[in-house]
Structure 1
Amino acid sequence: MRIILAPMEGLVDSYIRELLTGVGGIDRSVTEFIRVTHGMLPSRVFYKYAPELHNGCSTAAGTPVAIQLLGSDPHMMGLHGLRAVELGAQQVDINFGCPAKTVNKHKGGCVLMREPELMHALVAAVRAAVPVEIPVTAKMRLGYDDRSMGVACGEALEAAGASEICIHARSKVDGYRPPAYWEEIARVRERVATPIIANGDIWSVEDYWRCREVSGCDDVMIGRGLVARPDLAAQIKASQEGRPVADLPWSGVVELLVDYCRTLQTFLEPRYATGRIKQWLNYTRREYQEAEICWGKVKRTNDPDAVCALLEASVEALDPILAIG
């Protein structure tokens, strides 16, 4: 009954992985994808996306981190899978789920679900290239144009030797619009013996249990739900064990946000640092009323110090927030 932090491109970087796994309840996380094309990437690219390689490929909390690759050239994917392992990767994941137009236009991500044979070749190439003890896993959706390709692609990945398959319960065309079609994951499970991980629209403890019931999966991957509610994994683990646990208060969320902002300030220009912190804060509006109050002020500034001041003021009282600016 594992909970895996999803690889959200452009959001869940190594710093957020560090913070969220520190809150607890997360059993594994996955990097943003490393784009593989026609040339061999230098080691610094792997370290950029996965600085955890310097720490046994785990976060400071001891949570394992899988290295995710994205590409369509089996030979080059095999070479990069092997290189990742040489640098310390303990698991290589392959992205067949990214719905971004730019990625799909260049034959990466979910568009490959139109070609199960190529998906098979890519996984088989990585599987053949890396040591047998290293898991080679894959993340996909239910299809590209519609949700009809889940079974065919799942069977292709199984035949290629995938150790696990994570399925986002939508097609590319569905995007991220609700609902998530967990029942379609169950259809793939009926045909594929490889362990399946369910993903999509798990925002609460109740969603977690419904997803497990409908999909039949013991393991789940959560992305936006954990960004919106950093203690969601810990809450789920408590529910599994039948024990009560206090909700993470807004003050705890602010501590994470400010820590993230201060870290970003050390290497990003102010406007880029505030852009990233706004992105995370925007997700928390779903779960925290205080975030909604902050958002009205924060969205109009590109000064990271001002953002931190607004966040910290929100912990004290409502009036100081309204008085700033």
Structure 2
Amino acid sequence: MHIKYLFIRILESCNAGCWFCGFAKSGDSYRLGLNEYQKIIEEAKKANVEYIRFTGGETLLHSNIVDFVRIANENGLKTSLITNGFLLEKKIEELSENGLNQVIVSLDEVGNKHNEIRSLPMLFERALKGLEKARELGVKTRVNTVCGPHNYKSMPELQSIFTDAGVSYWELSALKLDEKIIYEDGLDEVNNIVERVYLDGKKQGKLVPFGKYWCGNTEEEQTNYFDHSLPPRAAGKCQMVNLVRYYDAKNRNLYVCSLLPHRGLDKKYYRSFNSIEEFSLIDQETQEVAEYFYHNGPSVCHGCSSTASGCSDMLSMGEKEFEFMY
């Protein structure tokens, strides 16, 4: 097994107020410390991890984020971070100078509509400027979009904006709620948007979202999503749990997928380290959790992403391992 990607949640505080996020406007005071971070890096090297991704909360609120990037870079690890983009233009040059490889910005709507969704004025405009500056500095750029009934009709316009901005990678994934998600204009209108973004977009040379369609590629996947609010999942065994680990540093919980921490799992489905245990990426308990999700993830997971499900299927069909995250 090769654990290629390690996600680290370095804080929970956030300056945005997204209505679908548990960290909205959080003022949580927790910050991952440098000493503990160094120990995580040492364990990552033992496990032959290649990529570190910083997540939150809002990562750019952490005063040591540049140090985190620098330390990882000094240890031969590539880095990326997820941000809402509000502070990106201000901080990207220093991050780039210290070795940041990729920045991932969450953008869900166009202009002021996005600012309203995230309750942060001028966020869309500032995020775009940050992405453009990152590209100029040679930092790879990616956008993550959460798509649902509230914004799916804006996807073609967003696609054009991201293409013009030179974004290199777009993840377009389904809104996930613990209730039925209703598209009032019907399935035909949804599939019209799907055709414009994925099929027409490819013909026109635009940036096309990677992985599966956000609402599913097959009739079965679309039925699961529109009738049961289940996003597209891997068709066979879950390959991601053999590549990814996600560490919630505040609670000392280790998950075998970056999409599991927010699903309210029973403790038997993740590795929790008590106050006297040493953090490890490759202990037996974690391996057993990974084995469970490898076989059962596609039938029990309710939070998969278009990228993860699409990559898992490609790997299951014999595709060589690729840098799907970067």
Query: Shorter-chain-normalised TM-score: which range?
Result: 0.3 to 0.5
Q: TM-score, normalised by structure 1?
A: 0.43
Q: TM-score, normalised by structure 2?
A: 0.43
Structure whose residues are more often helix by fraction: 1
Q: Which has the higher contact order (CA 8 A, sep 6+)?
A: 2
